[in-house]
């Protein structure tokens, strides 16, 4: 199993069009278990775009069987998001759709290429952290050490350098994009692992503060929001039971 979804898959100024469209088409409905996994980046992006959404949690093996047997899952996998009359699957496809719809994907093909490169790098690091709870206990310390090393030596230096090179408030085009949202989500996760990992990256810490103070993101960070806590042993066992993971 890769991640948390049963037969799972392989992670400036914004013009928001949420009000009329979400009213006409209904709120997006997110199908996943009640935890972070690969749905969390989707929650972050929708929230940052100011889009209200509903969640239909998979709580039992029977819920999981029903969703698969109803033919709603193209590849028998979640996350799945019902949105604009579609049943969207595959995390990257869902994120691409949301980012495009809500103008968080750059102004042209070159900016989009940069956003893609940055977010793919973030996804590589995030993937290492997502699967950490599944790591055998005797390998966990080594995995954590590797994650910390990759964080400080490979990934965060890239984004610190990007911000330093152009001196702007955002990663691409001096406009808020999905790259900024995904990076700030990742920075919060990294801080949960070890707060000292951000010590040598002042521009990233400033970006984190700046994005966190955007009204839509600030609301998402408040207690009681759809943002999910780090997975604990109880949630891990529940997910294994739902998706019949040995």
Q: Which residue range(s) make up the domain with 136?
A: 109-213
- pLDDT tens digits in sequence order for the chain, 246 residues long: 344 444 444 433 333 434 334 434 589 999 999 999 999 999 999 999 999 999 999 999 999 999 999 999 999 999 999 999 999 999 999 999 999 999 999 999 999 999 999 999 999 999 999 999 989 999 999 999 999 999 999 999 999 999 999 999 999 999 999 999 999 999 999 999 999 999 999 999 999 999 999 999 999 999 999 999 999 889 999 999 999 887
Number of structural domains the chain divides into: 2
Q: How far apart are the first and last CA of the chain?
A: 10
* CATH of residue 98: 3.40.30.10
Regarding whether 199 and 113 lie in a shared domain, the answer is yes
Residue 13 lies in a domain: no
131 and 116 in a common domain: yes
Whether residue 60 sits in one domain with residue 80: yes
Specify the pLDDT at position 157: 98
**Do 126 and 202 belong together in one domain?**
yes
- The domain that contains 125 carries what CATH number? 1.20.1050.10
Residues 187 and 153 in one domain: yes
- Say what the pTM is: 0.89
- Same domain as 88, residue 59: yes
Q: What is the distance between the alpha carbons of residues 121 and 1, in angstroms, rounded to a whole number?
A: 22
Regarding whether 183 and 125 lie in a shared domain, the answer is yes
Q: Cα–Cα distances in Å, from 198 out to 23, 170, 175?
A: 40, 18, 23
121 lies in the same domain as 161: yes
47 lies in the same domain as 136? no
Which long-range CB contacts under 8 A does 215-221 form with residues at least 24 apart? 216/47, 216/48, 216/49, 216/50, 217/47, 217/48, 217/181, 217/184, 219/47, 220/43, 220/44, 220/47, 220/48
Residues in the chain: 246
Is 183 a member of any domain?
yes
Give me the pLDDT at residue 8, please: 45
- Looking at the fold, whether 113 and 97 belong to one and the same domain comes out as no
């Amino acid at each position: 199993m890769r991640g948390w979804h049963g037969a799972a898959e392989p992670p400036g100024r914004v013009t928001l069009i949420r009000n009329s469209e979400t009213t006409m088409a209904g709120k997006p409905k997110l199908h996943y278990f009640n935890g972070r996994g690969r749905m969390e980046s989707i929650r972050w992006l929708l929230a940052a775009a100011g889009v209200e959404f509903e969640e239909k949690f998979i709580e039992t093996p029977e819920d999981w069987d029903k969703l698969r047997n109803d033919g709603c899952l193209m590849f028998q996998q979640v996350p799945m998001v019902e949105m604009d009359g579609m049943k969207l699957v595959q995390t990257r496809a869902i994120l691409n759709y949301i980012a495009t719809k809500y103008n968080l994907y750059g102004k042209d093909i070159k900016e989009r290429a940069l956003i893609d490169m940055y977010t793919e790098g973030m996804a590589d690091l995030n993937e290492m952290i997502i699967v950490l709870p599944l790591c055998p206990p005797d390998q966990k310390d080594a995995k954590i050490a590797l994650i910390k090393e990759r964080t400080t030596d490979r990934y965060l230096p890239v984004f610190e350098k990007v911000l330093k090179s152009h001196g702007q408030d955002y990663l691409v085009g001096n406009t808020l994009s999905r790259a900024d949202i995904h990076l700030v989500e990742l920075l919060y996760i990294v801080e949960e692992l070890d707060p000292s990992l951000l010590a040598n990256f002042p521009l990233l810490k400033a970006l984190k503060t700046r994005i966190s103070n955007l009204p839509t993101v600030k609301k998402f960070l408040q207690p009681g929001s759809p943002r999910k806590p780090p997975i604990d042993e109880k949630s891990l066992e529940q997910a294994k039971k739902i998706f019949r993971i040995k």
